[in-house]
Structures are given as C-alpha cells and as structure tokens.
Amino acid sequence: MIPITYELIKTDKQTGARLGRVHTPHGSFDTPTFMPVGTLATVKTMSPEELHSMQANIILSNTYHLWLRPGEDIIEEAGGLHKFMNWDKAILTDSGGFQVFSLSDMRQIEEKGVHFRNHLNGEKLFLSPEKAMHIQNALGSDIMMAFDECPPYPATYDYMKSSVERTSRWAERCLEAHKRPDTQGLFGIVQGGEYEALRKQSASDLVSLDFPGYAIGGLSVGEPKEVMNQVLEFTTPLLPANKPRYLMGVGSPDALIDGAIRGVDMFDCVLPTRIARNGTCMTSNGRLVVRNAKYARDFTPIDENCDCHVCKNYSRAYIRHLIKCNETFGFRLTTYHNLHFLLKLMEQVRTAIKEDRLGDFKESFFEQYGLNQE
Ligand SMILES: CNc1nc2cc(C(N)=O)ccc2[nH]1
Ligand SMILES: [Zn+2]
C-alpha cells in the first residue's frame, strides 16, 4: 500500500501550474499548498485548534530539533508526533540534513554520514541516512525526507557533482533503512545547485528509485530569485507528473506564486511565523511593520482586505501596543494573521489555476503587493 498518493486535477492554461490533491494517512490536502513550520512540535504560539480554523492541512516539523529535544524515544513512547502534539492532520518531517549544514559550525562529511556539534551544547553528534530514517520512523510523520547534503551557495561544479552523487547513494540507503514504507511516505530530494546537468543527474538517480514524491532542495540558500526560478524552470519537468513536488524553504508571497507557476505543489517556510514575532505582517498591500510608531493611533485592521479573525477584531494600534510591551498575545495575533494570509494566498492560487488565469493573478497580486515586475 502506498501511503502518499497524488491526484493531478488540472493544469493552468496560462502557466505550468497544476491543481492537485495529495492523500495521506492523516487526511488529504489540495495543492499548491503552504505548510506552516512547527519546528519543536508546535507552530510557534499557535494551537492546533487555531491551525484548524485557518484551514492548515499539513504542517512541517524538524527531525534534527526533535532528536535533540525531547528525543525521538519520548515522542515514540507518546504514540508518535501526531498524538504528542495533538495534531490529527498530515505532518511532514525534514531529515535534519539542512539543519546540520545550516546550524552547526564544525562538521565533517564522510560517506557514512556527518559528524557535527550540537548547536545547543557543543557536544559531538553524528547523523546518517539510517539514523535520519530511524528518527522519522519513531516520529511517525506521514511524509519523511531523505537524508541529503544541502550544499552552500555558491558551490563549484566539481564539489556539487560529488555531493549529488553522495546524496543519491544516501537516498538508496534511506530506502533500505525505512522501516514503515506502508504508513510513511519517503520523498527524495533533488540537488545539483544551479547546474542543469547535475539537476538532471540527481533527478534521474532519484526518479529511478521510484519515491512517492520529490523535493527540490539546495534552493533558498542565498541565490538570487532569478537563479531559483531558472533552476525550477529546468528541474520540475524532470520529475514525474503523477507525484507531488515540494520546494523546500520557500517562502515569500512572490516566491510561492513563481514556484506554483513553475509546477511546484508544496512549500514550507519559517518566514511568516518568524517575522510575526518581530512585529512584521504580510498584507495585500505589502509588508507592514506594525510596531512602527505611525500605527500608535491607527485603529484599522492589519489588512482591510483580510477576513481573518485578527483583522475582524483587533486594530493595528492594539497589536502595536502588545508587541511593544512584548506581550505574547501580540505575537499570537501577528502569527495567526500571517499564516492565514499565506494559506489564503494559496487558495487564491488554486482558484486561479481552476480558472486558467494564474498569470493574470500574478500580475495583479504583484502590482498591489508592490513587487516590481521583472
Ligand atoms: C530556508 N531555505 C531552505 N533551503 C533548504 C534546502 C533544504 C535541502 N534539503 O536542500 C532543506 C531545507 C531548506 N530551507
Ligand atoms: Zn488578517
């Protein structure tokens, strides 16, 4: 039994975007979709009930962080991550590959795996394809990610080539070590940086291993957005049309729209929750730094075009006051609104695909959001 299946419903006549539906053991979700990030088994300051109310249908959690705290053994003993955090819809866990390369300073990559230091206490740690599979099997996530190397940007062709080849060997070891292929779907991660030949090599290695879904990795690591869009342009067509495509670590409203246009189905990013905690909100007219003094007597909602309960019941002045006083409720309000904004944006993208007008939608959204058209 394959636990993760994808239904391609239609493609947009104006662009390469696809309307689809992903089925998982913890429910289905329409795509393109955005996944709120719940690093330490919580989408920071949000309750599961609030995530339900904004119609989040899948969230992401980080294997590296949960391995360190509280430990996958405790979560397994609780009955798995869904039970532990009282979330009954889909969960995707990443493999820890990215955190090892982004969080820890000392690290030594070898064929067997990666030696590095715990970013919390400096102790020596080791992660491998087998260990990453063991942890994710213990967490019980619906979608697991293969253990890969996310190389720095920029990287030389030679470095990238040997990294892609090792990531492909690691992907095979992940399939070998995965203990629950009937209830947890394992996605391969395509690497190769900005090099088309290496993206081709990585994609063909992974497609031949027949994963139930594929992620495009190695992006949103400091490259210009034109490079990201170019890499997507020549990478998504290499992936099977009947499987989900997940662009890791993206992103901003414009990157979500540009990714969907190039055939991406799933996105995750800490941006909406992270900027919320320093008092910045996404609105249909661009970003709004609600902690700014000019909002001290502004009794209008964060976004007059938003139908979320925050915009219906609370003013910029009130939210600014809470943020300035470092009141937790203030961060809860900005977080709820930002997540609702991105989830709503993806709903508008899906409707635009249905009506074959995603290109037009991009124009009008970019115009209103204040993004200069390239
Ligand atoms: C925030 N940017 C980002 N790039 C990523 C790349 C990967 C990857 N495995 O290549 C994973 C998570 C990522 N997050
Ligand atoms: Zn709102």
- Provide block-wise average pLDDT over 10 residues at a time, the chain (374 residues): 96 97 98 98 98 98 98 98 98 95 84 95 96 98 98 96 98 98 98 98 98 98 97 98 98 97 98 97 98 98 98 98 98 98 98 98 97 64
Q: How far apart are CA 17 and CA 155, in angstroms?
A: 30
**Three-class SS of residue 284?**
coil
CB of 150 closer than 6 angstroms to any ligand 1 atom = yes
Q: Which ligand is closest in space to the CA of residue 64?
A: 1
Nearest CA to ligand 1 atom 11: 98
* pLDDT on residue 247: 98
217 lines ligand 1 (CB under 6 A): yes
**Residues of the chain above pLDDT 70, percent:** 99
* Residue (of 91, 53, 90) closest to 340 by Cα position: 53
Q: Which atom of ligand 1 is nearest to the CA of 150?
A: 10
pLDDT score, position 102: 87
Q: Residue 315: what pLDDT?
A: 98
What letter represents residue 297's amino acid? R
CA torsion through residues 295, 300, 306, 308, sign? positive
Contact of 143 with 92, CB cutoff 8 Å: yes
pTM as predicted: 0.98
User: Distance from CA of residue 309 to its chain's centroid?
Assistant: 24
Structure tokens, 120: 């919390």
Pocket test for ligand 1, best of 92, 95, 98 (most atoms within 8 A of CB): 98
List, in sequence order, every residue forming a beta bridge with 143; answer none if it has no partner: 92, 185
Tokens of 206: 């992974």
- Please list, in sequence order, all residues whose beta carbon lies within 8 angstroms of the beta carbon of residue 82, skipping any fewer than 6 positions away: 26, 88, 91, 140
* ipTM of the modeled complex: 0.99
